[in-house]
Amino acid sequence: MRAGRPTPHVDSRVTRRELLKLSPVLLLGGFAIPTVRDRWLAAGVAWSDRVSGLGYRTAHLASTFPDDDAVPFDRFPYNGYDVLEPAIDFDRWSLQVGGAVQRAGRYTLDRLRALPKVRPLHRCEAERLS
């Protein structure tokens, strides 16, 4: 070093910026320990409940209405397709199978019930990207 120049001072303490860089790692590490994780989750839920409770008026009850104010069910508009199913004679019912199939034909309900029960197993596989 040249004469007359001060030597640079190196602070051995950890700076706030370095601590902030480590905070995600420390936080995730804390969740890996079951006892710490359970305490943190319980504290987080309790805090969330307290904050949510600030937005509600506990003395203010929900409004109630007499039954006469409600729309009768037969006049109640709802989205849907509701049709009464016709009576089905299951003794005469059959399913016609045709087209590009191995066993075309007419199948009665008893014949369908007699078919072997198969529990399908679906397996999804993905190739590893390199």
pLDDT digits (tens, 9 = 90+) for 93-111: 999 999 999 889 999 999 9
Q: What are the pLDDT digits (tens) for 1-58?
A: 556 666 666 566 778 888 788 888 877 787 788 888 888 889 999 999 888 888 877 7
Give me the residue spans of the domains in the chain.
16-51
DSSP string for 32-82: HSHHHHHHHHHHHHHHHHHHHHHTS-TT-PPP---GGGSPPGGG----S--
pTM tops 0.85, yes or no: no
